[in-house]
Amino acid sequence: MTPLPLLLTLSSLLFTLGLFAVLTRRNVILILVGIELMFNAANINFIAFWRYGPPDPDLIGPMFVLFAIAIAAAEAAVGLAIILMGFRHTRSTDLNRLDSLHG
């Protein structure tokens, strides 16, 4: 048996863990960490499918991972900038303090 199912289990666990952090945490920094976990779960999938799938001369899996890492970094940079902007107004990173917009 190939270790593919094990790796998929690991990535699914990581994704669920990230989603759980996003849904339960009130601190925006920790939510950002959760999003990064979810991105990395996808990266594990790409490498696992590439390694244990049929031969792939185009290296699509590793390509996906390289681009995903770069995008996750850009996303974190943009996210921290936005969080900082919010912090200037509320002096907090607590999501519950952000309630000026409602219908």
Partner 1 sequence: MQLLPEAVLVLTALVLLGAAVAVETQSGKPISKHAAIVIAACGVVLAGLALCYVPVDVDSGKSLIVIDPLAHIFKAVVLGLGLLAVLLPPARGEIPQPGEFYALMLFALTGLLLTTGTNHLLFLFVALELASLSLYLLVGFSRTARAAEASLKYFLFGGVSAAFLLFGLSFLYGFAHSATLAGVADALGAGPPSALAVTGLVMVVVGLGFKLAAAPFHYWAPDVYQGAPATSAALVVAASKVVGMVVLVRFLMLGFHAVSAAGSAAWGGMVAGWSPWLAVLAAVSMVLGNVLALAQTSVRRLLAYSAVANTGYLLVAMSANGASAAGAALFYVIVYGLATLGALAVTAAVERDRGNDSPVAFAGLIHRSPWQAVALLVFLTSLAGIPPLAGFVGKFVLFSAAMAESTKGGTPGLTWLVALAAIMSAISLYYYLSVLKQAFVRDTPDGGNTAAAGPTLSPAHFLAVALPAMALVVLGLFPALLLDPIASALVASLGLR
In this structure, the number of other CB atoms found within 10 A of the CB of residue 46 comes to: 19
Positions 3 through 32 that interact with partner 1 (CB under 8 A): 11, 15, 18-19, 22, 28, 31-32
**How many beta carbons lie within 10 A of that of residue 40, not counting itself?**
18
Picking from 41, 61, 40, the residue whose alpha carbon sits closest to that of residue 50 is 61
Alpha carbon distance 103, 101 (integer Å): 7
**DSSP helix/strand/coil, 27:** strand
CA–CA dist 86, 15 (Å, integer): 27
We find the least distance from the C-beta atom of residue 87 to partner 1, in angstroms, to be 9
Q: Which of 17, 30, 33, 35 binds partner 1 (CB under 8 A)?
A: 35
Q: Min. distance of Cβ 6 from partner 1 in angstroms?
A: 14
Which residues lie near partner 1 (CB under 8 A)? 11, 15, 18-19, 22, 28, 31-32, 35, 38-39, 41-43, 45-46, 48-49, 53-54, 56, 60-61, 63-64, 67-68, 71, 74-75, 78-79, 81-83, 85-86, 88-90, 98, 100-101, 103
